Structures are given as C-alpha cells and as structure tokens.
Amino acid sequence: MLLRRRLLSTAAAAARGPPPIRVDLTASAGRGVFATRPVPAGELLHSAQPLVCHPSPSLLHEVCYSCLRRKPGEGRVSSGGYYFCSDACREHAKGFHDVEKNADWTSFDDHCSSRGLKYPYMAKRLACMVISGAANADCLNILQPAHLHQGTLIEMEEEFELLESIFRKAGFQEVTTFLTKEWYINVLARIRINAFRIELVASSYENLLSSAAASVSCDASVGNAVYMLPSFYNHDCDPNTHIVWLENVDVKLKALRDIEEGEELRICYIDTSMDVNARQKILADGFGFECHCLRCLSGD
C-alpha cells in the first residue's frame, strides 16, 4: 500500500513536470529509454509529433494529408484533391504541399505503386519539406540506419534518379544543395528501420488509459511516420510500455505495468501473439536483430 501511494504521488507530480524518462546507452542494444523514477501502470509517459509522415497510398483521399486523421464525411480539400481535417493542418502542410503541387509525380507514383513501396513517399515528402524550409536536410541523422542489401541499394538509386529528375523538371534547382544519392539512401536507411505503422486505436484520451490492450481493436493502418524519441525505444516481446495513436499521427506512450526507477522502457515492434519462431524471423528480416528477451529465451 505504501509503494502504491508513493507511485500515485510521483504520478501526480509528473503531471506538473517533464516526462520521467532519459535516453542512455544500453549494455547490448545501443541507445535506450530509461525511467528516471518509479512509474505506475497506466501512466502516460509522453507524447510525440512526427519528424515526417505520409498517408498510406490507398488512403490518400480518406485521411488528412497532414495529420492522418480519418475523414469523417466532409472536410477541407486542397486544389490538389487531398483532404485536410482543419485549417491548422492545411497551414502546417502548406510548405511541402506547395512544393509538391509544382511537380508532376505521375512517374514516381507509378514506380512506387507497381513495386508496392511506401517509404519513398516519406523521403519525397521530407525533400519537399527541406525545399520549403520546414525541415533540415539532416533531421533524421540522429536515428539508427538499417543495414541495406545490394539489391535494395540498386532500387534506391533508381528511385533517387527519378525523384531528382522530377524536381529538376519542376524548376527546383536548389535540390542540388542537399538531394544527392547519398542523402536519399541515408534517409531511406533510417526510415526503413524507424518508421512506425500508424494504426488508430481509440477516439479519446480516456480510452487510452482504460486499456493496455488497445491495439487488439486497432483499425487498418492509415500511414507511416518517423519520430525522434519513440525511435529510441528498444524491443521486447513482453514489453513494459505501450505505444498508441488516438485520432491522428501524434503518438502516446504509456506504462503497461509498474516500472522501477532506472528500468529500461521497451515496446514491442511486432504482433505479440505470434509464436517465438515467427517473432524471431520477422525481427531478423525486418529489423536485423535476434531477440534475447526473457519470453524468447523461455521459448514462449
């Protein structure tokens, strides 16, 4: 009972202070996120906005082109035909969207669509953000890059040449100051391993706090996004932290159970209902590591 009172007291204090987390090096998994004090189950640790995001190609006209909020039935449509849920989102997207509208993306869209690619759209948006002054060209450099196979590198080189050609034809000569093959591959390498699949799970903050298993009832993916701090969380097949999206791309992280001061906060990158062999294969193929969490070591 005394421990519970202390946890509740620190939780109340947290509402008036900074998030109870710090980023530090782990023993074997690079950077990680750690609790700076005891955290009670259910506490909202922190929220984050994306560095860059993009709707799923199949839902371009069904979700907000800026924040990925689902279209309710009526909204603000741009001259390019994309939906914005509010004037604020339309204004927020103005920089990169104005750049996009001045280029013909037919060949780029056909290329990505025919190959089932999604991450090049995020690189394209980031390039437009850099041109408009809404982002720095090196804003993703702090994130961990993926290891790329030769076949992937060849594909990325083709995408870069296509992207650069489109910008040049549209008159954006300033892309030469940052849009190089190395820049494009660097960005894609970081997006590939750090992008989150955005699945809206609830319609209110109360729903977030009422269930640690909110992801079970999630809707289909509305897009992908890359964040700063959430990308530092390492994986565990039995996580102590839960990551969810409510109405839009802004992410929230909460404690799934009581967490001790100094304990590493971990999320699960994949579907936890799969057996150990399936989990290990997906983590190896998609993220490039073998999981040594307690659940995997026990064979569960």
List C-alpha distances in Å: 158 to 44, 165, 175, 179, 185: 43, 11, 17, 14, 11
Taken in order 220, 223, 227, 233, is the CA torsion positive or negative?
A: positive
Contact present, 254 and 246 (Cβ < 8 Å): no
Q: Domain locations in the chain?
A: 50-194, 275-299
CA atoms within 13 A on the CB side of 273: 3
Q: What does the pLDDT read at residue 211?
A: 38
Lowest mean pLDDT among 140-149, 196-205, 220-229: 196-205
Q: What does the pLDDT read at residue 74?
A: 57
Q: What does the pLDDT read at residue 271?
A: 85
Convert the pLDDT of each residue in 144-195 to its tens digit: 998 888 888 999 999 999 999 999 999 998 787 899 999 999 999 999 999 9
Q: What does the pLDDT read at residue 284?
A: 86
Q: What does the pLDDT read at residue 80?
A: 62
Residue 10 pLDDT exceeds 50: no
List C-alpha distances in Å: 119 to 75, 224, 247: 26, 8, 22
Tell me the Ramachandran region of residue 290: left when phi exceeds 0, alpha when psi lies from -120 to 50, beta otherwise.
beta
Q: What does the pLDDT read at residue 98?
A: 94
Mean predicted lDDT score pLDDT of the chain:
86
Residue 236 pLDDT exceeds 70: yes
CA–CA dist 129, 135 (Å, integer): 5
Closest CA to 58 of 208, 245, 222: 222
Convert the pLDDT of each residue in 242-252 to its tens digit: 999 989 999 99
Residue 100 pLDDT exceeds 80: yes
List C-alpha distances in Å: 57 to 65, 182, 221: 11, 25, 11
pTM of the complete model beyond 0.95: no
Closest CA to 221 of 63, 85, 61, 49: 63
Query: pLDDT category, 20, cuts 50, 70, 90?
Result: very high
Residue 7 pLDDT exceeds 80: no
Instruction: Give φ, ψ of 3 to 5 degrees.
Output: -60, -40
Bigger pLDDT: 264 vs 74:
264
Closest CA to 263 of 33, 1, 18, 13: 33
Query: pLDDT category, 23, cuts 50, 70, 90?
Result: very high
Contact present, 265 and 235 (Cβ < 8 Å): no
Contact present, 66 and 92 (Cβ < 8 Å): yes
First to last CA, the chain: 32
- Give me the mean pLDDT over the 220-239 stretch: 93
Closest CA to 242 of 282, 205, 262, 214: 214
Residue 18 pLDDT exceeds 90: no
